[in-house]
Structure formats: structure tokens, C-alpha cells
Structure 1
Amino acid sequence: MTIPLPGVPLPELPAWCGRLADLGFTDVWSSEATATDGIIPLALAAAEPRLRLGSAILPVYTRGPALLAQTAATLAAAAPGRFVLGLGTSSNVIVSNWNSVPFTRPYQRVLDTVRFLRRAFAGEKINEEFPSFTVRGFRLGVALPTPPKIMVAALRPRMLELAGREADGVILNWLSPDDCDTVLPHVREHGPDAEVIARIFVYVHDGDRERARPALRQLVAAYLTVPVYRQFHVWLGREAALAGMWEAWEAGDRRGALAAIPDEVVDDLIVHGTAEQCRAGLQRYVDHGITTPVLALMNSGPDVADAVSALAAP
């Protein structure tokens, strides 16, 4: 499950994590965009020993290499053997527009960061000019008997292959179950045993899909107009289906952009419907090779408790 849960105050998160574990959820994963950061919710969740903790994702640009190593090591020490470090480029919007950091050489930055972190977690003193950054005389001061696993968020072939080759697994986002058949061979070729994590947006409702779609279209537009996701879906073959949305968005016609998103795209990319329909939709991801489905719940307020219980394993 993605944490924090919508509408749940942070002071209540530790108790909620106990409830999630009682219901059979195995993991909690954070994100980092405009709301909470990717670490503090996991620190609050660390007190629940039955849950694995994961970041999906921490951008490789917005923390320096040494600080990123310290942050990951601190959480790994607080939850021995239970923390998974999910890394990725994020997007030019988050990195450059919001954090004023140049979004340059994303592939190289991820590669260098993964290799630096492996060495840092092993206790090595690092004094090296990596292709995308330089580290002088750093040694991690947190001893880690069990270094955290490193997962790489990836969309297209080169980064997918990097995840399979250099990391312990891949983190996927904004794809349908059928899209997994296009994406996963690029990972499996280089990492046959790589863990495959996917964040999947889920909205439990009464089954009236037509009534639910307007709100879901807003989420689709918010993500798929970002350049990295636009390129991803062109590669996946949705250029014709989403051309109307992109054209209207670029023209400043937000209402027209939402109206141009086909129903089938909404239904392909977001799991929604009754609890039974949602569980069936999540199972399709597992059937197509996802080993760790991470639910990003869209229900909020008083609906959260019912939705969480309904989505738990029967």
C-alpha cells in the first residue's frame, strides 16, 4: 500500500500501519512529489515490524550522493532488513521546475548513483569523479550489516535494462497489465530474478464506471502530459489515442484535454470499480509478471477504511 493514505493525518499513520499488517498487507511504499517527502512516512511506519518499507521513488537529483546514502542508511538501520531504496530520475517538472536543479544526463545520473551507493553501503571510502558527479573523501558513518536493496524506476528500454543489470529490481508506473508484456522483457534479459514493483492507482466505487471517469481523467492528464510519461506512452503505442489530449493541453485547453482522453485509456491505466472488480484488475498485473503490486488508493476520508478492508486478501 502507498502511504500516507489519502486524508489520514500523519500522527495516525503508525496505527494504520498496524491495521494494514493485520489485514495481510506486506509492504508500505512512499512517494515524493508535491505532498509528503519520501522518507518521513516510512520512518513513522518503521515501528510496525511486519511491514517492508520502500521508497517509490527518491529522485537521484534532489539529494546529493552522500546525503542520499546517509538517508537510506539511516532508515535501513532503523528497520534492519526491511527497507528497500527505490530510486529514479523523477521528471523535469519536479527536478527543474520545482527544485531548480538541472535535469541533465538522466540515464548516467541513475547509473552513477546506483554504483556509488553500492560502494557507500559497503563502507568504502569514495574519492572519484563519476561521469555525472564527483565525490571526494566520503565514507558512510552508518554500519550496515545488511545493505538495503536498490530498485530503479524505469519507463523505456535503456533504463529498464539498467534496472535489470545494475539494481535488485525495477519500479514501474502508469502502465496497463498488457503493457507489462512490452516492458518486462527488457528487464528480464539482464535480471532474470529481478523484483518487479508496480505502483497501481486504485479507486473503489459502486461500479458506475461512467460516473467515476471524470475524476480519473484529471489524474491521467496530470501525469501523461509530463514529457517523460508522454514519451513512454508513445513507445507503448498510445500516440494516436492520446494525441487529442496532448494537443489540447499544449493549447491551454484543459477542459478539452480531459474530454479527449478515451474511456479505454482511463480503464486500462487505473484499476477502478467494485472491490471485486478491483481485486480482479490487480490480479491481472500479477498474471502479467508484476511481483509486487503497490496500491495507490484514490479513495479518501471516511471511504479509506472501507476501501482498504475491501482490497485486502480474502
Structure 2
Amino acid sequence: MKVQIFLEAGLPADTVAELGSLAENFGVDTLWASSFPGHRDPFLSLAMLARNSQRMRLGVVPISPFEVHPMRISDALLTLNELCGGRASLLVGGLGKSVMRVTGLEPTRRVTAVRECVEILKTAARGDLLEYAGEMYRLAGYQATWATDAPPLVYVGATGPAMLKMAGRVADGVMMSDVPLPRMPEVLGNARQGLKGAGRDAKDFRFNNFFAWHIKSDKQESIAEARRELVWRGILQKWHTSPFLGDSDSDFVEANWGAFMQAFLQRTSVIEGIPEHIVEALVANLTFSGDLKAIDGVIEHLKSFEAAGLDEITLKVHGDADKAIRIIGERLVPELS
């Protein structure tokens, strides 16, 4: 299983370069820079690392064709790919809640928009003359003749069946978000259905799951951090939580999502009005948390993910990223490589 690192949004380029060098030395497969409103541009934040790294892939996550036209996404992606010698990756998504809140955008026909964006990006990366007439996007006479490096990898951010099947048809891989182990057969089955329908070999496709990493030397600090960040775990949708909470508690969590957001905004681990057994179950099933003694259990959990068909894990690090990368590099990467 390939281990990947997802950095917090907005880190300065020199910090990204330092953390990236550390991650590469530990054998991390990909370092992802996050795109988030009001934060530093992730493509530019990776530029310094692109010139000063050799093996590790460099990715931007997520970019949506609703916020940036596919032509501009292509220009930025191919420029990053040139800077790092053909090691760029990109995750295309259907537009996250954070961007929707800031911009007021309300995406429609998400699967079609993401599919067309991926088709444009993959064709453009070959340097071919692109005449694209889609339902939502059009390009006439676009050609990046200077894009001569190995093409970048283009992932789709997906959890729902339609987006997963589409990803299997057209993308290089899929990154799911916070999907618990019991849901793996369902989500991987949908992606494989798309692969089969397009006559593609699953061996050439990357199955990735994003998961929150909170492991620290101090267990209390780890759990407090995990609790504060719970609001983002699968946006606490019933589909994510019902396998371990059951229907009633999952409905309760969805109905009280605002309590989790308040805890995040107030930077507190106290989630008002939510029974403790629910909070503990969410932390246990949707995060990797605890002190260093918990790592053996995390490794077994990840091996179960791998046995289910997952071949990549993207770990979102929080707080002191240097310490987190060292723990992941020293304890996880050797066990999973």
C-alpha cells in the first residue's frame, strides 16, 4: 500500500518544501497540497518542492471545474508537471462546501462536469490538438506543445456510485473521503464497474482513501484534536456513520451537524449536546487517533483496507506536520511498503 501525505491548507512554499523533503526521504508516495478559499495557491506552494525533489509525486487537491475552467486547470497542472519532471497529480472534485459557502456557487450535473474536465486534462497532457465539444465545456484549438513530460495523474474525488463509476471509466484513480472499512466492497465495486464498462484493467487504476491522522505522543492531545475536527469526517453523513452507529444515532448526528461545526470553530473538544458514546465511536471509526501505542492497530486496520482492495492511503496530518510525518515515515511506511 502506498502512503501519501495531505498537508493542511495554506502553508508557505518554503514550509511545504521542507516537509516534502522530509516525506520523500521516508519513502512517502505523494505529497498533497490543499486548495481552500482564502489560502495560498497550492500549485504555487508546490513549485519550490517540485524543483528540489526527485521521486515523490506532488499533488493538488481538490480543484473543481465549477470554480476554475478546465483550460486554466490544464495550464496550471501541466506547468507543475513540467517543474517536477512528470510527477504531478491532481484531484478533480465536484465542488466542496467550503468553496460553495464563499462563492455562492451551486453546482449542477456534477458528474458530467467532472468527467468533461478529466477528459480535457488527460487529452491536453498528451500535447495533442484539442477540439472538445462537451455538454458543459468547450475548447477549440487548445494545444500544449511544450508538455513533453510523462502525463500527470488525474484522480476523481468520489464516494457516490455515479461519480465512482465515471471515475473508473475516465480517470487514473479515485480518492474517496473517510470511507469506513465496511463500505469498501460497495465503493470499490462501483469503481470497478466503471472500469469494466470501459474495458480498462483495474491494475492500472489507483484506489485511494483519505483518512484523518491524529496520532501523537500525547493521547489526550490526539483525541482532543480528533474531536475538534470531526465535523469534516465524511461531513458526518449517515452513509459514512451508520455501519458503526446504526440508523438512529446516525440520524441524530446528521440532525445535529451544527454542534460539530461549533466545536471546530471554537477550537474545543467539547461537542455540546452530543452523547459521549457517539463522539467516541466517530473518533474510533473515522480517524486514526491515540498515542504511539495505537500504531500497531492502525497498521492492522490499513492492511484490512488493502485486503479489501485499497492500494493507497492519504493521511491528513494536523498540527505539527513535521512530527506527524516522522511518525508515519518511521512506523507506517516500512510496514506497508
Would you call these one fold, judging by a TM-score over 0.5?
A: yes
Residues 1:241 and 2:246 aligned together:
no
What letter corresponds to residue 27 of structure 2 in structure 1? G
Q: What is the SS of the residue equivalent to 1:175?
A: coil
Residues 1:62 and 2:67 aligned together:
yes
Residues 1:230 and 2:247 aligned together:
no
Q: 1:74 aligns with which of 61, 74, 79?
A: 79
Q: Distance in 1 between matches of 2:214 and 2:314?
A: 13
Residues 1:263 and 2:309 aligned together:
no
More deviation, 81-90/275-284: 275-284
Aligned CA distance change for structure 1 residues 219 and 101 (closer, same or farther; 3 Å): same
Residues 1:285 and 2:305 aligned together:
yes
Q: Distance in 1 between matches of 2:109 and 2:326?
A: 44
Aligned CA distance change for structure 1 residues 38 and 15 (closer, same or farther; 3 Å): closer
2:214 corresponds in structure 1 to 203
Q: 1:2 aligns with which of 5, 25, 42?
A: 5
Q: 1:218 aligns with which of 190, 209, 228?
A: 228
Q: What is the SS of the residue equivalent to 2:42?
A: coil
**Offset of 1:153 from its aligned partner?**
1.1
Residues 1:22 and 2:25 aligned together:
yes
2:266 corresponds in structure 1 to none
Q: Note the alpha carbon deviations across 1:237-259, whole angstroms, 9 max, x for none.
A: 86533222222236999443654
Q: Distance in 2 between matches of 1:66 and 1:17?
A: 28
Q: Distance in 1 between matches of 2:312 and 2:167?
A: 15
Q: Note the alpha carbon deviations across 1:231-278, whole angstroms, 9 max, x for none.
A: 753797865332222222369994436547442222111011233243
2:267 corresponds in structure 1 to none
Residues 1:296 and 2:303 aligned together:
no
2:35 corresponds in structure 1 to 32
Q: Distance in 1 between matches of 2:62 and 2:280?
A: 28
Q: Note the alpha carbon deviations across 1:163-195, whole angstroms, 9 max, x for none.
A: 111111111111122322221111123332211
1:274 corresponds in structure 2 to 291
Q: Distance in 2 between matches of 1:87 and 1:252?
A: 27
1:121 corresponds in structure 2 to 125
Aligned CA distance change for structure 1 residues 190 and 180 (closer, same or farther; 3 Å): same
Q: Is the 8 A contact 1:61 1:95 kept in 2?
A: no
More deviation, 241-250/159-168: 241-250
Aligned CA distance change for structure 1 residues 298 and 103 (closer, same or farther; 3 Å): same
Aligned CA distance change for structure 1 residues 145 and 112 (closer, same or farther; 3 Å): same
Q: 1:307 aligns with which of 308, 315, 327?
A: 327
Q: Is the 8 A contact 2:19 2:321 kept in 1?
A: no
What letter corresponds to residue 269 of structure 1 in structure 2? L
Q: Note the alpha carbon deviations across 1:76-113, whole angstroms, 9 max, x for none.
A: 1112231122211132x233322343312111100111
Give the TM-score normalised by the residue count of structure 2: 0.79
Q: Note the alpha carbon deviations across 1:101-154, whole angstroms, 9 max, x for none.
A: 331211110011112222322334344441112334433353334222221111
**Offset of 1:20 from its aligned partner?**
1.8
Query: Which has the larger share of helix?
Result: 2
More deviation, 184-193/65-74: 184-193
Q: Distance in 1 between matches of 2:229 and 2:141?
A: 44
2:194 corresponds in structure 1 to 190
Q: What is the SS of the residue equivalent to 2:231?
A: helix
Q: Is the 8 A contact 2:60 2:89 kept in 1?
A: yes
**Offset of 1:28 from its aligned partner?**
1.1
Q: Distance in 2 between matches of 1:212 and 1:19?
A: 22
Q: Is the 8 A contact 2:7 2:316 kept in 1?
A: no
Q: What is the SS of the residue equivalent to 1:33?
A: coil
Aligned pair count reads: 309
Q: Is the 8 A contact 1:85 1:150 kept in 2?
A: yes
Q: Distance in 1 between matches of 2:46 and 2:19?
A: 12
Q: What is the SS of the residue equivalent to 1:102?
A: coil
Residue ranges of structure 2 left out of the alignment (5+ in a row): 196-201, 263-270
